[in-house]
A and B are shown apart, each in its own frame.
Chain A
Amino acid sequence: MNHFLLAAALTLSAPAAMACETVAIGDLTVEHAWSKATIGAGRPGVFYVEITNTGSTDDALVGIATPAAGMPMLHETVVQDGIASMPHAMSIPVPASQSVQLSPGGYHGMLMGLTTALKEGDSFPVTLTFEKAGEVTVNVDVLSLRAEGPDCADAGQ
């Protein structure tokens, strides 16, 4: 029984790579940056990340930039009255003492105009711009098309 559990625990944490790195800027920590593989470069890619504000001042993510895409943008998937749409998000609030997740079905970075197809196992940098904390660059792991998120030992899931 214990061997089985140990094996399960190891399997869960095995693919942990850069997505599990934590980058800090001021009172903000940025971690679990990941993306999904794309089929070709003609369709947009996606960018997910988790940001924690340990400080006492509200901040906000106001933009993203990456060499991987010509038109990266912040979006929010909204399901309202049974209809899903994804309007542009001007900024994503990162309130004091709170965490915000860019995750499937919610806020996400929309990577339009990909320079190349994103392949599972690749990684690429994304620079996040915060209203107050400034800029910070994270490495983004490209996971499989069917991934639901990175498997990090410390991931709160």
Chain B
Amino acid sequence: MRLRSLQIILWVAATAAVLAFAAVRWWPATDDTQAAASVFTPAFALADSEGRIRTTDEFRGKFLLVFFGFTSCPDVCPTTLSEVAQVMDDLGSDAGSVQPVFISIDPERDRRLGLADYTKAFHPAILGLAGSEAETQAAAASFKIFYEREADTASQDGYTMAHSPGLYLIGPDGAWLRQFTYGTPAAEILSDLQSRL
């Protein structure tokens, strides 16, 4: 009985996947026109957990998957990092062509709590960066993302962060390609990447 319904669910899922794939292949994505209208080259220069400054330039030739967040964020941030980790696992031998980057928008506290321990717990390939306040603001501005520190006495350390929770894809030439909005399933991110690799 349960097997039968599982079988049906799997068939429905397979059919849906085929239809979704066809739709993506044959309908011009509205995203493309948007992307074409906004070609830009985001940049960062931020310290990694060992204090070395890492810049966008050194990753030319690779796709960058960039996410801004903070490690005292147990709800939203792990969801995206888990999806990125899943994508890296599923890329298999292509994983070397994609560099996932986690940029802290709460750099002082995240350096204190330990950035690498956090990113590595999701996936060893994820590079965690935490710069100065000014460097972080510059990176965010260049990616056209928003973040803000909110005073909140009911939060740990008396503040919390509001931020753009999207995942950003940068091409091997350094140009912005697209955003994956919060909650985009790993499978969707994976197939987008695979279509470009």
A interface residue numbers (CB < 8 A to B): 2, 5-6, 8-9, 36-40, 42-46, 71, 73, 75, 77, 79, 82-86, 88, 104-105, 108, 110-113, 145-148
Contacts of A73 in B (CB 8 A): 154
A interface majority secondary structure: mixed
Contact of B182 among A38, A44, A84, A111 (CB under 8 A): A84
**Separation in Å of the B110 CB from the closest CB of chain A?**
9
B interface residue numbers (CB < 8 A to A): 2-3, 6-7, 10, 71-76, 78-79, 82, 85-86, 113-114, 117-118, 121-122, 146, 148, 150, 152, 154-156, 160-166, 182-183
Contacts of A8 in B (CB 8 A): 6
**Separation in Å of the B113 CB from the closest CB of chain A?**
5
Complex contact A83–B163 (CB within 8 A) = yes
- In the complex, what distance in Å separates the CA atom of A5 from the CA atom of B3? 7
Complex contact B154–A39 (CB within 8 A) = no
Q: Who on chain A is nearest to B145 by CB?
A: A82
Complex contact B85–A77 (CB within 8 A) = no
Complex contact B82–A146 (CB within 8 A) = yes
Further 8 A-B residue pairs, CB within 8 A, beyond A104-B78, A112-B156 = A5-B6, A8-B6, A39-B121, A40-B114, A43-B71, A86-B160, A104-B76, A145-B78
**Separation in Å of the A100 CB from the closest CB of chain B?**
16
